[in-house]
Structure 1
Amino acid sequence: MDVSQLPGFYAIAAADPGRLAVIDSDGTRTSYGELLARVNRVSHGLRARGLGTGDVVAGVLPNGIDAIVMVMATAQIGLYYVPINWHLTASEVAYILADCDAKIVVTGPDHAVPGGEIGTAGLAEGQPTGAPGERTSGAVMWYTSGTTGFPKGVQRPLPGVAPEQLVPAYQWFLGEVVDLKPGDDVHLVTSPMYHSAPCAHTQFALHLGHAVVVAPKFEPVTILELVERYRVNNAMMVPTMFHRMLQLPEEVRGKYDVSSLRQVIHTAAACPVAVKQQIMDWWGPVLYEYYGSTESAIAFAVKPHDWLARPGTVGRPAPTFEAKIVDEDGAELPPGEPGLIYVKSAMGTFEYRKDPEKTAASMLGEWYSPGDIGYLDEDGYLFLCDRRTDLIVSGGVNIYPAEIEAALLEHPAVADVAVIGVPDEEWGHNVVALVQPAAGVTPGPGLTAELLEHCGPRIARFKHPKEIEYRSLLPRTPTGKLSRSKVREDYLSEG
C-alpha cells in the first residue's frame, strides 16, 4: 500500500493493519494494526488512571515492543514521556522520577522500581482497542546532565494539536535532512531507546510506514546479519559502532550483503575522518550525519556526497535553523574563526524543567549554545574543534565529570579529584580520575579497588573511571575552581 499520503503511524495502521510494524529482538512480529490496538489500549489505561494533558509518565524499559508502545501511546494523549537509562543506579533513577513528577513509571521485569508497573499489560488490561477521544500530541522529555552533574528535563511546550497535524512537518524535515521518505523501508534499531536519537528515529520510522527491526544489542556481526536478513534500508548508529565494525576481519565483513543500506545516520560524537571514509568505502556513500543536542535537536546536517567533498564537516544548518559563531564577549566571528556555536530555530523553544536560571544561562537572547567550539567555513559548513571543555563523550554517551568527582569525594581517602576524558580510538574518550589522596593515605591498587567499589551504588557503571591515577596536588585557581584543561594537558603531556 502507498502510505506517502497518510499522515503518520495512527493513520497508516488504521488504513493498512496487516502491514509489518515491528520485528522484536526475539523475532516476534507485530503488525501496524496490532501495534495500534496495544497503543490505544495503553492510552485508555493511562487516562483511566487519571492522567491528563501535561502529566508525566516515565519508562525504565529495555528496547522492544513495550518501549515503542509507551512512546506512541503518550504521543496521542498529551502526556510527557520520560525514558530513563536502565543502567542508572536506584538513587539516580529515583532522582529523575521525583524531579519530573512522574505519575506512573513502567519498567521491564529486570529493571523494577518501587511502585512501578511491570510492562504495559496492566495498563492495557480491559481497555478498548479504539482510538481515545480528544487526541492531542504529547512529547518526549529527555533528561540531560548539566555541568553540575544533576540531570535536568528538557521540556518543550505541548503543541496542542492532534499528531496528524504535526507529522507532515516531521516527514518534510527528515526528507530534507537525511533523505528518508514514507514507504516500505526497513529501519534497524541498534542503540538503547533511552537515548534521544534512537527513540526519535524509531518513532519517525513508524510515522513513515517503515518496518522497525530491534537488534538484541549492538554486536558487529549481529548487525550485519540483521541487515542482510531483513534487507535493512536505514539505521541510526554512533561512531564507536563504526570503529567496532571495522575491526572485523576482512573475510567476515565480506560475507554479508549490505547493499540494501541507503541511509545510515550517525550523531552523538565526533567521527574520525578515516573511520567514516572506511565505512563509506565498504557500504557506499550512505553515511548521513547530524549535529545538535537534546536541547537544540538536529541543528546541522550533512549528506554523504557533501561530506566527501568536505571531510570532517558536520554540515550546514538544518532547515528552520540559523547558526553563528561568537567570541567570549558574544561578538559574532567571521568564517574560519573558532568560537562558541549558537543556534536558533523557528521550530520552537525549550526550557529546563524547574530551572529557569539554567534555561536563561544557556541562552543568548533567542540563541542557544550546545557549549561546543567550532567554526563555519565560507560556505556555512560547520567544523567542530572540541566538545565543551568538561564534557566526556564515550561511546556516543555524554558523561559529566562533576558527577563522578562528587561521588569520589564522598570517600574519606580522597582529598581532591579531577575527572577528565582521555582520547581513545574505539570509544572516543575514556574516563580517567586523577585523585589527590587525603593526608596519611597511601595510594595503590588497594585504594583503587576500594574507590571503584565505592562508586558502585552511587553512579552508573558506564560512568566509572577506566583508570584511577594519583597526584600529590591538583591545580585550582585562587577562587577554588579546578582547571580541568590544565589537568588534561599535564596528563596527556606525561604520555
Structure 2
Amino acid sequence: MQESIPTERLPDDAIQPDLFHALPELHYPEEVNAAAEMVDRHVEHGRGDEPAIIFDGQAITYADLQDRVDRLANALLDLGVEPGDRVFVRFPNRPEYVVSCLATQKIGAVTVPSMKLLRATEISYVVEDSGASVAIVYDDLLDELEIARDERGLESLAEIVVVEENGIEHDHHSYDDLIDAASSDLSAPTTTRDDVVMIAYTSGTTGKPKGTVHTHRQMLAICDGYARYCLDPNPDDVFASNAPIAFTFGYGFEVAFPLRFGATTVLVQDPEPTDLLVAVDEHDVSILASVPTAYNQLFAEHEDQLESADVSSLRRAVSAGEPLPPRTYEQIGDHFGVEASDGIGSTEMLHIFISHRYHDEMDPTATGFPVPGYEAKVIDPDTGEQLPRGEAGLLVVRGPTGVTYWDRPEKQAEAIYDGWSAPGDIYIHREDGRFEYVSRADDLIITGGNNVAGPEVEDVLLEHDAVYQTAVIGAPDEARGQLVKAFVVPEDGAEPAPALTEALQEHVKAAIAPYKYPREIEYLDTLPTTETGKIQRSKLREREETGTN
C-alpha cells in the first residue's frame, strides 16, 4: 500500500498560512481523532441510543453508527490501508458516505470526497492527483470510476469497495460483505491533531480542481468555532441540508456539526428543494442550510408546498456558497419565520469564517463579523497594505484554518499574504465592524475606468418582478475594456423582448449609479451551475471571450 502523506506535496513553511488558536475550545490534546470525537464520545457519555442519522425514514443511533464505523475501519485495515493513505469516497448523500468518511479518518487515513456528478476524466485527475489507494463507491456511480481506471490505469488505486443497492454487476469488494465479516472491536492507530484528515477538491470553476488539505484539529475547529458561536447547537437539534456531503459546506452541516454536538442529521439521497420542506415537516428540523439558488427555487416554484408545510421547528436558516440577496433574506423570514444567516467560507478554508454570531443583530446588507477565532482585514492586493474602513479591497483572514493546497506551490504562493490567507473575495470592512461583500476578485468588472461589482447589479435585477435568476459579468468591449452584461432567466410569463431589456436597464439606473447598468442583456432558459448550486460565471465569461454558446 501507500506510504504516509508525502511531505513534498505539502507547502513548505515559508508559504504556509499563519494558523493560531485564540479560542480555549480549540486547544486540543496532541493525540486526538475527529471521528472518535464525533461518535465514540457520545456513546461513552451514555447517549448511544440517541439518533445520529435519519435516512429514508429510519434512524441510526450513535451506537449503531459507532458499530458500522468500527467494522468498516477494521475492513479497511484488513485491505492494507495505513495512516496517511488516501481513500476516494464517491456517493450521493447516504449514511454509507458518512460511515466511509469517519471510518477512514478513525484509522488515520485521509478522506478524498468526490462529487457524484464527476465524469471519468475528472475522477482520473482527482484519484491520480491525490494518490488514492482505495475507493469506496455507490454502485450506481461505479461506471465512471471504472472507465477512469480502464482508460487511465490509476496505478495508485489498489482496491475498490462497492455499496450494492441497485443490482449493478461488478467484480470488486462488497461493502456489506466487508462490514458483516469485520469485527466491531477496533484498535485504531493513534492520530495527532495535525495529521491530515481530508483532502477536499475545489469545484474547478476556474481551471483544474485543487486539492485542499485539512487536519483533525481543523475539522474540530470549524465545529467549536463557527458552529458553536453562530448556530448555538445542542443535542436536541436536527440538521438538514441539500448540499452534497462532498462539498465542505455540506460536510459541515450534515456530518461534522450535528455529530460533534450529539445532534441528529437528516440525509436525503438526491434532494430537491421541496425535500427540505418534507424534512423540516416530518423530522422537526431546527437548523436548515442551503444555497441561495435553492431557496429562490423553492420560493418561486413551490408556493403550495410552502403554505402546507409545518416549519415551526426551525430556529435558523443558513445560506452560503454565494452571497445572500436581500430579497432571498426577506423571503426566508416571510416563509420560514426565522432569520437567515449568511456566511462566507471556502473549500480552501474548510468552512465559514465570516458570519453573524447567533445572538448578533442581523444585518442583511453585510455578511457579518469574523467568526470567533478568526481575524480578517481588507488589503490592497498589490502592496499588501491594510485599507481604510469603507474602502473595497482583497479580503484576507487568519485563524484555526487556512489555505493549504496539495501539490500546488504556485497557487499556494498566490494565496498567502504574509501568513494571511486570501480566499479570493473583494470586501469592504465597514465602520460598524461588519464585512460587506463586493464580489469575487474575478467577478469585478472594470468598465471605462470604473469598478462594477457584478453581484451588486444582480441584487438590483433580482428585485424586478420579471427576473427569476441572473448572472452579471464583464464582457470584452473594445471601447470600454469591458462592458456590464447580464444573463437573465425570466420569470414565468415575462416575455424576453426589447421592452423588457429597457425596463430592466432603467430599473438598475434608478437604483444604483447609472454607469453600473447592464448595457447588454441576454435571456437564457437556465444558467450554468456547479453541483453545489453555484452559478458558473466563469463559463459565461468564457463564452463571451470565445464567442461560443
TM-score interval, smaller chain: 0.7 to 0.9
Q: 2:336 aligns with which of 283, 305, 311?
A: 283
Contact 1:152 1:353 in 2 (8 A): yes
Which residue in the other structure is 2:289 paired with? Answer: 236
Cα displacement string for residues 100-136 of structure 1 (whole angstroms, at most 9, x for unaligned residues)? 0001011111111236321232542421112333342
1:353–1:383 Cα change, 3 Å: same
Partner of 2:39: 9
Q: Which amino acid aligns with 1:149?
A: G
Paired residue secondary structure (1:83): strand
Cα distance, 1:213–1:421 mapped onto 2, change above 3 Å = farther
Residues 144-176 of structure 1 show CA distances to partners (whole Å, capped at 9, x for unaligned) of: 1567611111013555xxx9xx85883454221
Contact 1:171 1:208 in 2 (8 A): no
Equivalent-residue separation in structure 2 for 1:294 and 1:218 (angstroms): 21
Please report how far the alpha carbon of residue 44 of structure 1 lies from its aligned counterpart in structure 2 after TM superposition: 1.1
Question: 5+ unaligned residues in a row in structure 2: which ranges?
Answer: 1-35, 147-158, 164-174, 445-453, 459-470, 474-481, 492-527
Read off the aligned partner of 1:81 and give its amino acid letter. Answer: T
Q: 1:273 aligns with which of 319, 323, 326?
A: 326
- Cα deviation, residue 467, structure 1: 13
Deviation at 1:216, TM superposition (A): 3.6
Amino acid paired to 2:64: E
Distance 1:325 1:17, change over 3 A: same
In structure 1, what is the Cα distance between the partners aligned to 2:118 and 2:490? 23
Mapped to 2, the partners of 1:91 and 1:64 lie a distance apart of: 24
Match of 2:447 in 1: none
Q: Does 1:23 align with 2:37?
A: no
Question: What is the TM-score when the length of structure 2 is the normalising length?
Answer: 0.67
Q: Quote the RMSD (CA, aligned, Å).
A: 3.7
The aligned counterpart of 2:161 is 117
SS at 2:211's partner residue? strand
Stretch moving more, 273-282 or 213-222 = 213-222
Question: Residues of 2 paired with 1:294 and 1:270: CA distance?
Answer: 16
* 1:293 aligns to 2:346 (yes or no): yes
Q: TM-score scaled by structure 1?
A: 0.74
In structure 2, the partner of 1:258 is: 311
Please give the alpha-carbon distance, in whole angstroms, between the structure 1 residues aligned to 2:306 and 2:410. 51
Matches within 5 A, 1:444-459: none
Residue 289 of structure 1 deviates from its aligned partner by 2.2
> Aligned with 1:254: secondary structure?
helix
Secondary structure (helix, strand or coil) at the match of 1:268 reads: coil
Contact 1:185 1:211 in 2 (8 A): yes
Aligned to 2:78: 48
SS at match of 2:258: helix
The aligned counterpart of 1:343 is 397
Residue 128 of structure 1 pairs with residue 180 of structure 2: no
Relative to structure 1, the CA distance from residue 194 to residue 157 in structure 2 (aligned partners, 3 Å threshold; closer, same or farther) is closer
C-alpha contact 2:425 2:440 (8 A) present in aligned 1: yes
In the TM superposition, 1:106-255 aligns within 5 A as 106-112=136-142, 113-114=145-146, 116-119=160-163, 120-136=175-191, 139-144=197-202, 149-157=207-215, 159=217, 167=220, 170-171=223-224, 173-181=226-234, 183-201=235-253, 202-248=255-301, 250-255=303-308
Would the aligned equivalents of 1:9 and 1:208 in 2 still touch at CA under 8 Å?
A: no
- Residue equivalent to 1:317: 370
- Greater displacement, 101-110 / 28-37: 28-37
Question: Are 2:429 and 2:436, in contact at CA under 8 Å, matched by a contact in 1?
Answer: yes
Return 359-368 or 347-356, whichever deviates more.
347-356
Q: How far has the Cα of 1:365 moved from its partner?
A: 1.4
Q: 1:333 aligns with which of 366, 387, 392?
A: 387
Q: Which consecutive unaligned segments of at least 5 residues does structure 1 have?
A: 1-5, 402-417, 428-454, 470-483
State the shift of 1:58 in Å: 0.8
Residue 379 of structure 1 and its aligned partner are, at CA, apart by 2.0
Whole-Å Cα distance in 1 between the matches of residues 65 and 184 of structure 2?
Answer: 10
User: Secondary structure at 2:239's aligned position in 1?
Assistant: strand
Mean alpha-carbon deviation: is it higher for 127-136 or for 88-97? 127-136
Q: Which amino acid aligns with 2:83?
A: T
Structure 1 residue 250: Cα displacement: 4.5
For residue 79 of structure 1, the aligned residue among 102, 106, 109 is 109
Q: Give 3-state SS (helix, strand or coil) of 2:139's partner.
A: coil
Instruction: Indicate how the Cα distance of structure 1 residues 90 and 385 shifts in structure 2: closer, same or farther if over 3 A, else same.
Output: same
Q: Secondary structure at the match of 2:141?
A: coil
Residue type of the alignment partner of 1:351: T
1:351 aligns to what SS in structure 2? coil
> Post-superposition shift, 1:305?
7.0
Shift of the alpha carbon at 1:53? 1.7
Count of residues in correspondence between the two structures: 410
Give the drift of 1:462: 8.8
Q: What is the CA distance between 1:381 and its match in structure 2? A: 0.6
Aligned AA (2:265): V
Aligned residue identity for 1:293: S
**Aligned partners of 2:162, 2:122: CA distance in 1, in Å?**
19
- State the 1:302 CA deviation: 1.4
Distance 1:148 1:245 in 2: 28
Instruction: Indicate the percent of aligned positions where both proteins have the same amino acid.
Output: 27
The 8 Å contact of residues 21 and 206 in structure 1, kept in 2 or not, is answered as yes
User: Which residue is 2:509 aligned to?
Assistant: none
